[in-house]
């Protein structure tokens, strides 16, 4: 695990700081940060989380610093989100070409062309076909099948009895950038991981991004069709069915047994309730209650959508 002194972090990214020096092991959200984490605050809607955070320090504008709890140091910055991007680089995973024999369970069938990083752990009766890459510290549970040319980035965790089809990439960087005042884009390094729980099947050519902090999660029993994209820090609930070309933007979550039709999608930081069905090509722009069917853009309750379509059709005939 990478770590640094709080004083060194502040010096590296150019922020004002004073107080007790501490060892910092990473970055995290306000509500999930521990006393060894640094967090950030850039919107008043998170004020309640700010006052309860356990973070060692928070990147924050001076005008909000008085809201911090006594144990949290204000790290004063005019652009906290930009400073977060700069800080994320300090904790990034070091990518190398080093390879090490993995720890392999019994009765596995692994093609000789498979390439491993360091610290890989593979359970019993795992099958991995030609051309796969398994990154550093990845874990694959028993009875899991990886078809040809699957890529697992570092620290990806795959559960038991999973099936992952060819061309899928799990653990690639989420799409995160901070913008300077000049309009330049600064990369936010994605230092979380991906957790695929037991009995999940993932189709061909899917992309599941790692978390910025924490994990992107595909919960037990979910089934993803081909060409599905799950962005950073999403949490797909148990037994979801996501069909071809579904896309979830960052930090969106779903309840259990959610069904999403082809080419439907959701904006970020939303929640789709249990047993919801999203019709094909629908666009979810706000959180939705469970146990209903939704359609259209923006997605609304299906019966309302049918009424709207009927009205539009009658207007077109006049």
| CATH assignment at residue 125 | 2.160.10.10
Q: Does 96 map to a domain?
A: no
- Residue 318: what pLDDT? 66
Active site members: 232
Alpha-carbon dihedral of residues 298, 300, 304, 308, nearest 10 degrees? 0
**Max intra-chain CA distance, the chain:** 74
User: Which run of H or of E encompasses 236?
Assistant: strand 235-236
Q: What is the mean pLDDT of each run of 10 residues along the chain (318 residues)?
A: 89 90 95 95 84 95 93 95 97 96 98 98 98 98 98 98 98 96 96 98 98 96 98 98 98 98 98 98 98 97 92 82
> Count of domains in the chain?
2
- Residue 202: what pLDDT? 98
Burial class (CB in 10 A: 0-12, 13-18, 19+), 27: buried
- Residue 1: what pLDDT? 57
Residues 70, 124, single domain; the answer is no
Residues 146, 292, single domain; the answer is yes
- Residue 17: what pLDDT? 87
Q: Which domain holds residue 242?
A: 103-303
- Among residues 56, 51, 79, 52, the alpha carbon closest in space to that of 8 is found at 56
């Amino acid at each position: 695990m990478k770590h640094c002194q709080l004083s060194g972090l502040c010096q590296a990214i150019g922020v004002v700081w004073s107080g007790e020096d501490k060892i910092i092991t990473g970055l995290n959200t306000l509500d999930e940060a521990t006393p060894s984490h640094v967090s950030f605050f850039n919107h008043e809607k998170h004020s309640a989380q700010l006052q309860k955070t356990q973070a060692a320090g928070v990147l924050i504008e001076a005008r909000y610093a008085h809201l911090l709890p006594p144990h949290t140091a204000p790290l004063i910055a005019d652009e906290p989100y930009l400073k977060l991007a700069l800080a994320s680089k300090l904790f990034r995973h070091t990518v190398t070409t080093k390879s090490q024999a993995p720890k392999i369970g019994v009765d596995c069938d692994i093609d000789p062309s498979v390439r491993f990083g360091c610290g890989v752990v593979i359970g019993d009766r795992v099958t991995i076909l030609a051309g796969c890459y398994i990154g550093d510290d990845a874990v694959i549970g028993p009875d899991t099948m990886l078809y040809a040319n699957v890529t697992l980035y570092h620290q990806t965790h795959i559960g038991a009895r999973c099936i992952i089809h060819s061309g899928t990439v799990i653990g690639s960087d989420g799409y995160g950038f901070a913008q300077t005042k000049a309009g330049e884009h600064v990369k936010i390094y994605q230092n979380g991981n991906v957790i695929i729980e037991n009995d999940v099947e993932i189709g061909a050519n899917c992309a599941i991004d790692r978390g910025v902090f924490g994990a992107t999660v595909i919960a037990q029993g979910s089934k993803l069709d081909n060409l599905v994209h799950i962005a950073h820090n999403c949490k797909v609930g148990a037994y979801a069915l996501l069909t071809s070309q579904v896309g979830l933007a960052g930090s969106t979550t779903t309840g259990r047994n959610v069904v999403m039709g082809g080419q439907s999608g959701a904006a970020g930081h939303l929640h789709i309730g249990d047993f919801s069905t999203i019709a094909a090509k629908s666009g979810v722009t706000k959180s939705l209650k469970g146990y209903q069917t939704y359609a259209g853009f923006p997605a609304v309750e299906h019966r309302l959508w049918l009424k709207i379509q009927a009205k539009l059709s009658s207007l077109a005939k006049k």
